[in-house]
Amino acid sequence: MVFSSISFLYYFLPAVLLVYFMVPRRAKNLVLLVSSLFFYFCGEPVYLLLMIAVTLSGYLHGLWINRAKNGRYAKLSLISSIFFITAPLLFFKYTGFAINNVNALFGLKIPAPKLALPIGISFYTFQILSYTIDVYRGNARVQKSFIDFSAYVSLFPQLIAGPIVRYTTIESELSDRTHSLNDAAYGIKRFVIGLSKKVIIANSLGELGDILSQLGEKTVLLFWLKAISFMIQIYYDFSGYSDMAIGLGRIFGFHFPENFNYPFISKSLTEFWRRWHISLGTWFRDYVYIPLGGNRKGTVKWLRNIFIVWFLTGFWHGAEWNFIAWGLYFAVFLCAEKLFLHRLLDKAPVLLRRVYTLFFILVSFILFNGDGLAGCLADLKGMFGFLDAPVFNTETLYYFRSYAVTLLAAAVGSTPLPRKLADCLGKYKPAKDMLSFLEPVFQAALLLLVTAYLIDGSFNPFLYFRF
């Protein structure tokens, strides 16, 4: 089950909300837990038991870490938690990759198991790890209620694709949270906006990318159009899901962290990663980069730490060499910016800095989306005219013109311009009153439009399900 489905919007969610707000406060976490387990069961019935087992491991390790704190087994309890919590992720996500590379390296024929990746395992693994590590550090109190802890891990609003919600972020809200009409209204607004970003824009651009991939004759324009549409698609797909998660969380009384902050207006790649997938970046910063020493132990170790973090960031996204190359690609640029490029960028015009950033982001998403390293190289060659392909043809021009309005609207919508326009209008009372009236009407219209798209059975994947 996904958020952008009729079954979720008109059956599952209304039923959960009805029961949730009917039961007394002490039963609300149980309702969330049961509904979240059912939500996961609908998408991954086989791996529901795996998620429960990893959750139980995190819960028991939290109790052990708390009991062993400052004792002789304190580090052992933490190491044990890291091993048992990450073991399923390592097994399901990386076994095939490891065996295939051993076979290629040594000329062996070890059969690689074909394992389906459990949905959301990369996200809930990191959430449980943040809990056990923070209990060990003394940053979080141990959770003694298995129901409350399980509700935290399995919360369906953010279970499938984040944001990565740390235990400390909602620790107090698990036991004592408030509900209000203002929060519910904000949550509904945020959810509808995210749903619209996903269904209307991301799905349309995903459909374009699918069409372009299947065209017989390749052109330079095709490669550029495919790269740009994917870059915008993945932003709207993932940020739309994050908006929906944050909105649903607010309805249930939780304040989830922001995950995106207009990343395409960045003036450097360093700034881009402060604005893109914020919850993942801060997770690696706090649980890997800083424990390794950060930038406190000299330049060589500082650069080493950046490369370790970005190797792991790429590998977290997928067990393929192009994901590793994608992570190391950013490591190189971030090191260069920190060492000398920032001085040049600071002196450059703002427009040039933004063009530089967008171009190298675009190249990074070619690495991210490529069919292996060979496929990435072919796409890059195609973009710069090294495949002996025409600049454009009739088909490519047709699809460019057909999707030009969608691409332009998506580009403008990825900037703060619409919000700033609304803020400016809100300064004038007549305009503010009109916006207050039109906003719910607009949201209702968007929901109807999304429903029409979904009933029509349009292209509707979630890109981050595969991570």
Summarised one tens digit per residue, pLDDT across range 189-228 is: 999 999 999 999 999 999 999 999 888 889 999 999 999 9
d(CA 172, CA 161): 23
441's tokens: 């009407």
Q: What is the pLDDT, as a whole number, of residue 466? A: 53
- 247-285 confidence digits (pLDDT tens): 999 999 999 999 999 999 999 999 999 999 999 999 999
Q: What is the pLDDT, as a whole number, of residue 429? A: 74
pLDDT band at 372 (very low <50, low <70, confident <90, very high): confident
CB 270 within 8 A of CB 353: no
Closest CA to 199 of 371, 402, 3: 3
**What angle, 0 to 180 degrees and rounded to 10, lies between the N-to-C axes of helices 220-251 and 394-413?**
30
Over residues 388-412, mean pLDDT? 92
Percent of the chain with pLDDT over 70: 98
DSSP H helices in 370-428: 372-383, 394-413, 417-425
pLDDT band at 467 (very low <50, low <70, confident <90, very high): low
DSSP annotation of 143: P
DSSP H helices in 197-320: 203-214, 220-251, 269-275, 278-284, 290-292, 299-317
Evaluate if pTM is beyond 0.85. yes
Q: What is the pLDDT, as a whole number, of residue 465? A: 53
Residue 107's alpha-carbon distances to 101, 320, 372, in angstroms, are 10, 19, 20
Q: HSE on the CB side for 368, CA within 13 Å? A: 24
Q: Which residues contact 460 (CB under 8 A, 6 or more apart)?
A: 2, 4, 5, 199, 203, 454
346's tokens: 């600071």
Closest CA to 38 of 22, 19, 25, 21: 19
Residue 61 has pLDDT above 90, yes or no: yes
Q: Look at 437 and 287; give whichever has higher pLDDT.
A: 287
Residue 421 has pLDDT above 90, yes or no: no
- Residue 317 appears among annotated catalytic residues: yes
Residue 179 has pLDDT above 60, yes or no: yes
313's tokens: 């960031």
CB 62 within 8 A of CB 146: no
Residue 460 has pLDDT above 60, yes or no: no
Q: Which helix (H) or strand (E) holds 368?
A: helix 350-369
Q: Which residues contact 413 (CB under 8 A, 6 or more apart)?
A: 197, 201
pLDDT band at 459 (very low <50, low <70, confident <90, very high): low
**What angle, 0 to 180 degrees and rounded to 10, lies between the N-to-C axes of helices 203-214 and 220-251?**
150
d(CA 241, CA 143): 28
- 124-170 confidence digits (pLDDT tens): 999 999 999 999 999 999 999 999 999 999 999 998 877 999 999 99
| Active-site annotation holder among 61, 255, 317, 342 | 317
Give how far the C-alpha of residue 122 lies from the chain's centroid of Cα atoms, to the nearest Å.
10
DSSP annotation of 200: I
Please, what is the average pLDDT of the chain? Answer: 91
Percent of the chain with pLDDT over 90: 73
Q: What is the pLDDT, as a whole number, of residue 24? A: 93
- Alpha-carbon dihedral angle through residues 37, 43, 45, 46, given to the nearest 10 degrees: -120
Q: How many residues does the chain have?
A: 467
Residue 2 has pLDDT above 90, yes or no: no
Q: Look at 386 and 362; give whichever has higher pLDDT.
A: 362
By three-state DSSP, how is residue 427 classified?
coil
d(CA 447, CA 9): 10
Residue 162's alpha-carbon distances to 34, 246, 404, in angstroms, are 19, 9, 31
